[in-house]
Structure 1
Amino acid sequence: MVLILFKTSHWRVHKEECGRLKQQMCRVVLLNDFPFTFSREATYQVCGKVETRCSFLDKQGIHCVGFWICECSCGASITSSDHLRYDKGWNLSSKLCPCKGPLSMLTKKLSSWNEYYEWRGIPLDSPVALLLHWLIPETTDELCIHYLGPEREVYQLAVFGELHALLPGVRVHIDFVGPAIPHDRDGETITLCSYAHCIESNCSCKSVKGEFNSHTASDKSSSITINLHSGLYHNRYSDLTKEFIPDLIIAPNAGIAAYKSWLPTIELIREIEIPTIFSDYCEEACHLAANCISSVTGSPPTIPVQLNPFRQPLAVEDTALILPCYSNCFLFGI
């Protein structure tokens, strides 16, 4: 009798959560649906421990090279090294990466990796989507973005050169701010004047002069500049807005429900009323994050939790839930 009462009490507490997780599990096939030739290896086989992120990257010929080193646990002790600071190459052939401008202008909003690869003339066996999932383009003549909580992105900055193709003629300024940014890089400005390079020495992508620079003073003429700021957003906001007021705030893989340090940042975002996009590794994390934000703002997200069609197509290993997890898998906004 005691056991039955315990089970009944337990079910009352977890009935909603279990029902929600059941619905999320029904979407596993959709989560694992990618158009790439390597999709099964990168999804089902990594989740089932048949493959690891390391073995997958090794098969692609990009394990522990350049900014790919941040995509597996092998790079954990290396990402603080200066040798990654100015890396600007894909370590792929020109056929497999977008090292030059597009052959045609965008005529419609991209809605899938398949459409992006087709537009950029990249075959579906190319792994570049593993890095391009950080980009969230908007259309305007000038765009200022506050990018919160970057980690491995700091060592993959050249990838953001693809914004030249996604936002042609747009002056883009991105402020990266977060505690993972090394203190010795606080205040650093990076200028991106071209695309990340391929591995071929005779490719025309090498002909652009001064394509990747780092300095302490802002370069007004550059179409893409990235400023690095060490610390928490609510502590650095007044400094960040002395020159630029953001048009958009982005917080990728935020983990809001897991870190109390987000609460003063959410309160600040509520006050300044800047459109903000959050993402996380799975739907449940976004659901919990949305509840946390609603408890602060008093209202639900204006952009509901939804699957990101441009999530990273390589599963996260050793997750707490049985649900498949991908970097920037789901997103929502306020």
Structure 2
Amino acid sequence: MTTPLDTAGTSEQYFAQITSVAQALIRAEKSGQATRFDFSGIDDCSYCREEIVPPKKSFRCSACKARIYCSVECQKNGWKYGTVDSPRGVNAQGVSFPNHKQYCKDNTRHMTRLTETRAILMQFPWGRLEKDGSFSHNIARGRFRVLGSNDMGFWSQRCGPAPHQDEGQMPNRHGSSKSGVFAQMDVKTFEHLDGKYLLKDQHFGDQEGWKLPPHLIPYRDFASADTRPVLVTEFGEPIKDWDSWYRWRKLPLESPAALIMNYPMTLYQFITNCLELTNATKGSPAERIPLNVHMLGVEVELNYLPIFSELALLLPYHNIQLTMFGFSVHKLCLEAREYSTSLAAQSLVDKPVFTYTAPVACGSSTLEIFLRGEAPRWPIQAPPTIPPDALVACNAGLASYSGWAEVIRIAHMLEIPFAVSEYMEQSAEVQRSTFSAVLAGIESQYRPRKGYPIALNPFQGPGQRHVSKMPNTINGFTMVVVKND
């Protein structure tokens, strides 16, 4: 059966209900009755955008298996016109609007990645595939009773119909007669200020931040060697995926840490593998490596700054500065003006909002995190006087927000290494296809780049998002925008 969720009430009531259902699922699993639970989402027609509510029949593209339609007529229209929002013809430049006929072959290629993304999820005991192939992150958090918008430590999150706060920067999105979970809710009821805990005067400790049993916590402050990882260069293998990270961290796969650790681990993937700026063997006690990284478009990351300490543990003998920019950073810094003694207020006077030093046994690297909230976008001044060593962004949507065009141009002109993650391989390819237009007119000011490589991120957030049948995960795929030759 599909498990219904009541849409009335506050976000905390809603999250409490999901937690209750998740606990019931655990009991059902122990009794062998888990199949009676199904948390699949409701499919939208890929053409008309209407929900396909059972018992209404759906029609799936037999070639790519990635598109769902509510009728044969919509399937035919989708093949020819794309969506009901697409004008039936070409634009002023003579370019035809995208339709399924154009994308079907690429969709088929992208769908082959499902085996890999599902394997990443199913290595975890809490990994679960619903009948539609999706995975509910909220149900997973509900298993561990760490689901809520407030008072959940690092797990505190906002809830609502929009994946990003800065929706105003996006082009007009399609309308829909949604009747699902969020459509009946007052969005204001579900507002949550990202980084709200930074309005207090101290960071969460490991236990209060993770709110998990001790054996499931990836500690940053170690009471003994039992919980401390070995010096990463002495581990015997590179940290290349979740399996190696969990073993190095002495964590059982039962730990849900990957559900939010995918953010700092994606930064690690950017720095070491995508951009090849440094690695675990470059530094030494006699020669420490400075690394200055600007992280753009920061949102949910503000809820768990201390977990970025992982970079200091993974990169021995480094001095790392991580400076965060974005609409949510700007919003938080405006709020911090009313909390003069808060952590966030420190950023208003150019002090780090978080610092960490790794144990000597782990390489004694340092991490400083700064917030730059004077404006909602990078750069604060254009172009930056002293370029950083790299620009990075998680779940960027480079073609979805107008502010990215300037970032892409500056990164190319100043040759600043730049890497991003996207939810989908298809999305990354669409972003890449816009670069020639973004860079038009400045060809003489930058060295053309080749390839803009896109790759599956081994540190992606485990589990398929319901919004697409194609592989679609948090920090799912990496793309290099600029890389030093």
TM range (shorter): 0.7 to 0.9
Cα-Cα RMSD = 3.2
Match of 1:21 in 2: 107
Distance 1:52 1:36, change over 3 A: closer
* 1:322 maps to amino acid: K
* 1:18 maps to amino acid: C
Of 55, 68, 82, which residue of structure 1 is paired with 2:155? 68
Q: Please list the CA deviations of residues 183-229 of structure 1 after superposition, one character each: whole Å capped at 9, or x if unmatched.
A: 2345362232258xxxxxxxxx9xxxxxxxxxxxxxxx981111111
Partner of 1:165: helix, strand, or coil? Answer: helix
Of structures 1 and 2, the one with the larger relative CO (CA 8 A, separation 6+) is: 1
Percent of aligned pairs sharing the same letter? 24
Match of 1:90 in 2: 210
Cα distance, 1:180 vs structure 2: 1.4
Cα distance, 1:232 vs structure 2: 4.5
Match of 2:415 in 1: 273
How do residues 171-250 of structure 1 correspond to structure 2 at under 5 angstroms?
171-181=319-329, 182=332, 183=334, 184=336, 185=344, 187=348, 189-193=352-356, 223-230=366-373, 231-237=375-381, 241=384, 245-250=387-392
The answer for unaligned runs of 5 or more in structure 2 is 1-75, 83-95, 161-181, 183-188, 223-227, 273-278, 283-288, 337-343
Match of 1:209 in 2: none
Match of 1:200 in 2: none
Q: State how far apart, in whole Å, the 1-side matches of 2:304 and 2:131 are.
A: 23
Contact 1:53/1:314, CA 8 A, preserved across alignment: yes
Of 263, 275, 285, which residue of structure 1 is paired with 2:405? 263
Distance 1:8 1:164, change over 3 A: closer
Match of 1:45 in 2: 130
Cα distance, 1:293 vs structure 2: 2.2
Q: State how far apart, in whole Å, the 2-side matches of 1:68 and 1:265 are.
A: 30
Q: State how far apart, in whole Å, the 2-side matches of 1:87 and 1:46 are.
A: 38
Contact 1:254/1:280, CA 8 A, preserved across alignment: yes
* 2:204 maps to amino acid: D
Cα distance, 1:69 vs structure 2: 1.7
Contact 2:158/2:194, CA 8 A, preserved across alignment: no
Q: Please list the CA deviations of residues 91-112 of structure 1 after superposition, one character each: whole Å capped at 9, or x if unmatched.
A: 1233112213313433443221
* 2:292 maps to amino acid: C
Q: State how far apart, in whole Å, the 1-side matches of 2:210 and 2:78 are.
A: 54
The answer for unaligned runs of 5 or more in structure 1 is 196-204, 206-220
Cα distance, 1:303 vs structure 2: 4.4
Q: State how far apart, in whole Å, the 1-side matches of 2:192 and 2:81 are.
A: 45
Count of residue pairs brought into register by the alignment: 299
Larger radius of gyration: 2
TM-score by length of 1: 0.78
Of 86, 103, 120, which residue of structure 1 is paired with 2:230? 103
Of 36, 41, 44, which residue of structure 1 is paired with 2:124? 36
Contact 1:191/1:222, CA 8 A, preserved across alignment: no
Q: State how far apart, in whole Å, the 1-side matches of 2:77 and 2:257 are.
A: 51
